[in-house]
Amino acid sequence: MSVFKTEAITLGRTDYSNSSQIITFYTRDYGKIHTIAKGFKRVSGRYSSKAIDLLTYYQILFIKKEYTSLHTLTEAVLQNNYPMLRNNLDNYYKASCMAELVNEFTEESDPSKQLFDIFLNTLNVISADTNATIQLLTFEMKMLKILGYLPELESCVNCKDSIQQVSEVHFNAREGGLLCKTCKVRFSNGIIVPLGAALIARRLVDINLQKLERVRIQSSICVEIEKMLRYYITSILNKELNSWKYIKF
């Protein structure tokens, strides 16, 4: 039995019994973990298991068990619960979407400090109500890259030729990106995407987060990028995300 300390963001929470809950965190040092929070009462006013909220940033201590993936949460010190986010439903659902993505796309105990930092940074910015749509799209593109799912948006995913300057291109989720005019006839399914939206989505992958607050993208382009990402993510996960039902673009 060893005790571990790490930074953590709450991804999910389910009741386990009358006095305990299972809390899923994305942690900076240990990746996604499931912990059981056994009804510990408010001790110092700084934390209590009952007060463990979703989409909240904590410093946690947990005991790692050897033969189970359900660890024991012993302390959760609140760092930021983003009060402004709770007053803005639209942004709250965008933040929920990030948590759902991290939960669905990551494996247990497979950490990425880079993903944790981008998640935390974007949560901070979205909670301050800045450019939430562009922040979410950027998070999605960066997450796909970090986790090895980045779609090919610069050249044809099949023949590797550069995509001609046309107004619309073919995007095929199963192939993992854009298809040129010649190749698109060989693959069924897929969607049509404006080339401009695909190119802007690609630029978001490497954009500096500090500069992102000043970036403006037409809302019609944001809608096209999100449509493309939803189609692509649905194809990878084999399901749609719950939070999508509530997000307005």
Q: Does residue 85 belong to the site contacting Zn ion (CB under 5 A)?
A: no
- Rounded least distance, CB 171 to Zn ion, Å: 13
Closest CA to 76 of 119, 40, 31, 110: 40
Stretch that binds Zn ion, among 48-56, 62-70, 117-125, 176-184 (CB under 5 A): 176-184
Estimate to the nearest angstrom the gap between the alpha carbon of 42 and the chain centroid.
31
> What residues from 177 to 196 belong to the interface with Zn ion (CB under 5 A)?
180, 183
| Amino acid (1-letter code) at residue 23 | I
Contact 90, 247 (CB under 8 A): yes
Interacting span for Zn ion (CB under 5 A) from 12-20, 58-66, 100-108, 175-183: 175-183
Relative to beta strand 168-172, strand 177-179 is antiparallel
Q: Could you tell me which stretch among 44-52, 103-111, 133-141, 153-161 binds Zn ion (CB under 5 A)?
A: 153-161
| Spatial CA neighbour of 33 closest among 21, 45, 22, 46 | 22
What is each CA distance from 203 to 200, 217, 241, in whole angstroms? Answer: 5, 12, 24
Site size toward Zn ion, by CB under 5 A: 5
Q: For residue 216, how far is the Cα from the chain centroid?
A: 21
Query: Which residue among 85, 156, 200, 217 contacts Zn ion (CB under 5 A)?
Result: 156
Indicate whether 157 belongs to the interface with Zn ion (CB under 5 A): no
Stretch that binds Zn ion, among 2-10, 57-65, 151-159, 193-201 (CB under 5 A): 151-159
Distance from C-alpha of 193 to C-alpha of 184, rounded to nearest angstrom:
13
In the complex, least distance from residue 205 CB atom to Zn ion, rounded to whole angstroms: 21
For the CB of residue 169, give the shortest distance to Zn ion in the complex, in Å: 11
Q: Shortest distance, CB of residue 175 to Zn ion, whole angstroms?
A: 10
Which DSSP helix (H) or strand (E) runs through 207?
Answer: none
Point out which residues bind Zn ion (CB under 5 A): 156, 158-159, 180, 183
